[in-house]
Amino acid sequence: MNTDHDLRLVGVGASPYTRKLRAALRYRRLPFRFVVAGSKEAAALPDRPLPLVPYLVVPDENGQLSRAVSDTTPILSELDTVYPDRPLRPRDPALRFLDLLIEDYGDEWLSKCMFHYRWSRSLDTERASAYLPYARMTQMPRSQAEEAAQAFAERQISRIGVVGSNDTTAPVIEASWRRFLEIFEKHIQTSPYFLGNRPGAGDMACYGQMTMLVITDPTPAEIAFKVSPRAYAWTEKCEDLSGLDIAESDWIDLDALPETLSALFSEIGRVHVPFLIANAAAIEQGSSTVHCEIDGQLWTQDPFVYQAKCLRWLRQEFDILPTNDKARVAKCLQGTGCEAIFE
């Protein structure tokens, strides 16, 4: 079998977004090779467009692996277009938008939870720092790894202001992680995935962050085992869903939205949407700080330019929906707080 033209996923297993994309490729049954970032195999591939992992090397119009793309959300959209079998994004436009909303919450809010616990708690910081240097090179000498661990931890801790973790926001983040687990625990008892009997991009986004929050990092994992032990089993299961048989009818019916899914949208509207709106406003006004109220508590952090783009993309996706699908989305999100995105 000639696999020369297989996709190349370049990343590290310790990256939530790498885990998201790798699980998506497995579920999609797409031919790919996983290449460790920083390896000689990665050096032989086209350079990444941004200094981030993961990135995907895909064929050009001549079938040659000459194009590297980054950012998992547009990557998943492109893959659905190029490889139409077993798509992650629902074909129903309204359902597709809701999947995008869940994906953004997983990528951009649960990442706050992950970053907060990992880099503000000494136990979690020590655990992550101990193994992360080996993620790219397991043969690294111990002394070199310890130096790299200290430098990496210092760099990550210096970034927590941008992500949103500080003494003021900590109670909001920690309460939101517990509520997510409570909602997840109830929802997964009635539906194996967020939008029915097959996963969407939203599942992959949450899964990616949960590989750290539920499995590797001690503090959030301990909370998860107390609140939702099945979250661990679900996260392990989503690692490889290539054997899952699916049908178009496996998506939920939006006219019969489960209460547990409505609860998830209410959680998104409770924490993520207020931040997206306040963050975008701060950037538009040239403010050096985001000040807002989330869940009845003060939230303050450095502006996050990328997440302003996320809000803009969500609004653009809603704007291009047909009128009847806009109404269907609005009905599903009514009273959740998510409708503020469109106001």
Domain shared by 139 and 188, yes or no: no
| Domain boundary residue, one of 162, 190, 221 | 162
Mean pLDDT of 232-255: 98
pLDDT given for residue 156 in this prediction: 82
Asked whether residue 245 is domain-assigned, the answer is: yes
Which of 63, 91, 58, 96 lies closest to 75 in space, CA to CA? Answer: 58
- Residue predicted with more confidence, 101 or 137: 101
Pairwise CA distance, residues 35 & 13, whole Å = 10
- Mean pLDDT within 43-62: 91
Lowest mean pLDDT among 30-44, 116-130, 135-149, 210-224: 135-149
Cα angle 250-6-243, degrees, rounded to a multiple of 5? 30
Mean pLDDT of 278-295: 97
Give the confidence band of 339 by pLDDT, cuts at 50, 70, 90.
very high
Q: Mention every residue, 6+ apart, whose C-beta is less than 8 A from residue 57.
A: 7, 8, 10, 45, 46, 65, 66, 67, 68, 69
| Domain termination residue (choose one: 127, 144, 162) | 162
* pLDDT the model gives residue 217: 97
- Mean pLDDT in the chain? 95
Residue 59 — pLDDT band, cuts 50, 70, 90?
A: confident
Rounded to 5 degrees, what are φ and ψ at 82? -75, -35
Q: Domain residues for 157?
A: 117-162
Closest CA to 271 of 184, 201, 172: 172
Angle of CA points 97, 48, 147, to nearest 5°: 110
pLDDT at res. 2: 44
* Same-domain pairing of 51 and 170: no
DSSP string, 310-326: HHHHHHHHHHTS-HHHH
CB atoms within 10 A of CB 162: 15
Q: Is residue 322, in this structure, part of any structural domain at all?
A: yes
Number of H helices, E strands in the chain: 16, 6
User: Nearest-CA neighbor of 217 among 106, 105, 111, 126?
Assistant: 126
Q: Looking at the predicted structure, is the pLDDT value of residue 295 above 80?
A: yes
CA angle 303, 264, 322 (to 5 degrees): 80
117 has a pLDDT exceeding 80: yes
pLDDT at 177: 99
User: Do you find a cis peptide bond into 303, omega within 30 degrees of 0?
Assistant: no
Longest dimension (CA), the chain: 62
Asked if residue 57 lies in contact with residue 68, where contact means CB atoms within 8 angstroms, the answer is yes
Q: 120-134, 142-156, 218-232, 267-281: which range is least confident on average? A: 142-156
Is 71 inside any structural domain?
A: yes
Would you say residue 85 has pLDDT above 70? yes
Listed residues 82, 106, 132: the one ending a domain: 82
Total domains in the fold of the chain: 3
pLDDT for res 4: 58
Report CA torsion sign: 292, 342, 24, 248.
positive
pLDDT (0 to 100) of residue 1: 36
d(CA 292, CA 28): 40
| 88 inside domain | no
120 CB-near residues (< 8 Å, 6+ apart):
157, 160, 165, 170
On whether the CB atoms of residues 8 and 57 are closer than 8 A, the answer is yes
Considering the domain boundaries, does residue 72 fall inside one? yes
DSSP code at position 251 = B
Residues 146 and 197 in one domain: no
Residue range 49-69: average pLDDT? 90
Mean pLDDT along residues 180-187: 99
Residue 1 belongs to some domain of the structure: no
pLDDT on residue 313: 98
User: Over pLDDT 70: what percentage of the chain?
Assistant: 99
299 pLDDT higher than 80 = yes
Has residue 221 got a pLDDT over 50? yes
Task: Supply the pLDDT for residue 129.
Answer: 87
Residue 262 lies in a domain: yes
Asked whether the beta carbons of 137 and 73 are under 8 A apart, the reply is: no
DSSP 23-47: HHHHHHT--EEEEETTSHHHHTSPP
Domain shared by 285 and 260, yes or no: yes
Residues near 250 by Cβ (< 8 Å), separated by ≥ 6? 196, 197, 198
Question: Which of 152-161, 236-245, 319-328 has the lowest average pLDDT?
Answer: 152-161
Task: Tell me: do 216 and 136 sit in the same domain.
Answer: no
Q: Tell me, what CATH number does 69's domain have?
A: 3.40.30.10
- Answer yes or no: do 155 and 174 share one domain: no
Residues 200 and 331 in one domain: yes
What is the per-residue pLDDT across 41-52, written as a single tens digit (0 to 9) for each?
999 999 988 889
Are 105 and 129 in a shared domain? no
Residue 182 has pLDDT above 90, yes or no: yes
Q: Helix, strand or coil for residue 2?
A: coil
Read off the amino acid at residue 280.
Answer: A
Are 188 and 135 within one domain?
A: no
Q: What is the pLDDT of residue 296?
A: 97
Residue 100 lies in a domain: yes
pTM above 0.85, yes or no: yes
**At residue 60, does pLDDT exceed 60?**
yes
* Domain shared by 142 and 157, yes or no: yes
Is the sign of the CA dihedral 343, 193, 26, 209 positive or negative?
positive
Give me the residue label for tokens 């998992």: 72
Of 231, 188, 199, the C-alpha closest to 23 is 199
Report the pLDDT value the prediction gives residue 135, as an integer from 0 to 100.
79
Residue 171 has pLDDT above 70, yes or no: yes
Same domain, 139 and 245: no
For residues 273 and 198, membership in a common domain is answered with: yes
User: Quick one: pLDDT at residue 3?
Assistant: 53
